[in-house]
């Protein structure tokens, strides 16, 4: 079964019509859209769902009330997730946020599960005012954990993961990072979670 996914990232100065990337793969299409501020997110999410996205993932910089607004706008047409940080990551995530809000410089990495990807070749690093973001496509959870450990060792200050990590896959990635960087994991509220078969 394939499911198209969309990731929305808040990025200062971004133009969501231009600052986007689409990757087709065996598990469906992944569309990544950068938005300048949270006022654009509901409209972009609605557009992406109209285009077939079954899952909307919001970056860790987007507040949970915005996730609720997205959910209200799209209803049951798609699942809505946002990245959150567990207790093992919260202190470092807060320190990263303080450095980011002070103007940096900071480095962050987003790892996206994308079957068929080459974890070394399929990565893009882009500099923005005050920070640098590396986007890594990983074919599976094991290679994603290896990439995360390497990124943390290179002093990336924050890692977020997207694309459908299992609970075990997310945990193994956090263990691989070994506390060197905070790791944000996609989370769903009960109203977005699909029921488990009995």
In the chain, what's the furthest Cα-to-Cα distance?
A: 50
Mean pLDDT across the chain = 92
Q: Is the pLDDT of residue 197 over 80?
A: no
- At 198 the pLDDT is 45
Between the two ends of the chain, the Cα-to-Cα distance in Å is 20
Q: Is the pLDDT of residue 27 over 90?
A: no
Q: Is the pLDDT of residue 189 over 60?
A: yes
- CA distances for 50 relative to 4, 22, 29, 39, 96, angstroms: 11, 16, 14, 19, 35
Q: Is the pLDDT of residue 166 over 60?
A: yes
**What residues does each domain of the chain span?**
5-188
pLDDT digits (tens, 9 = 90+) for 61-97: 999 999 999 999 999 999 999 999 999 999 999 999 9
Q: Is the pLDDT of residue 172 over 80?
A: yes
Q: Edge to edge, what strands does the sheet with 123-128 contain?
A: 20-25, 28-35, 5-10, 55-58, 79-85, 183-188, 158-162, 106-113, 131-138, 123-128
Q: Is the pLDDT of residue 179 over 90?
A: yes
Residue 194's pLDDT band, with cuts at 50, 70 and 90, is: low
Which of 124, 5, 2 lies closest to 58 in space, CA to CA? Answer: 5
What is the rounded average pLDDT of the residues 94-116? 93
Residue 104's pLDDT band, with cuts at 50, 70 and 90, is: confident
pTM: 0.93
């Amino acid at each position: 079964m394939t499911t198209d996914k969309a990731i929305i990232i808040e990025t200062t100065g971004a133009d969501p019509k231009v600052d986007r990337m689409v990757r087709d793969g065996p598990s469906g299409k992944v569309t990544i859209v950068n938005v300048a501020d949270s006022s654009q997110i509901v409209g972009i999410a609605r557009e992406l769902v109209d285009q077939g996205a079954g899952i909307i993932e919001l970056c860790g910089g987007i507040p949970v009330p915005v996730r609720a607004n997205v959910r209200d706008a799209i209803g049951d047409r798609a699942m809505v997730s946002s990245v959150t940080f567990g207790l093992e990551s919260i202190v470092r995530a807060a320190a990263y946020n303080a450095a980011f809000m002070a103007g940096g410089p900071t480095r962050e990495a987003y790892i996206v599960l994308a079957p068929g990807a080459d974890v070394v070749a399929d990565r893009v690093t882009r500099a923005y005012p005050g920070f640098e973001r590396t986007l890594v496509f990983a074919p599976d959870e094991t290679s994603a954990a290896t990439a995360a450990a390497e990124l943390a060792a290179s002093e990336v200050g924050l890692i977020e993961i997207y694309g459908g990590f299992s609970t075990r896959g997310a945990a193994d990635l956090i263990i691989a990072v070994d506390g060197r960087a905070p790791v944000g994991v996609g989370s769903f509220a009960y109203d977005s979670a699909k029921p488990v078969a009995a």
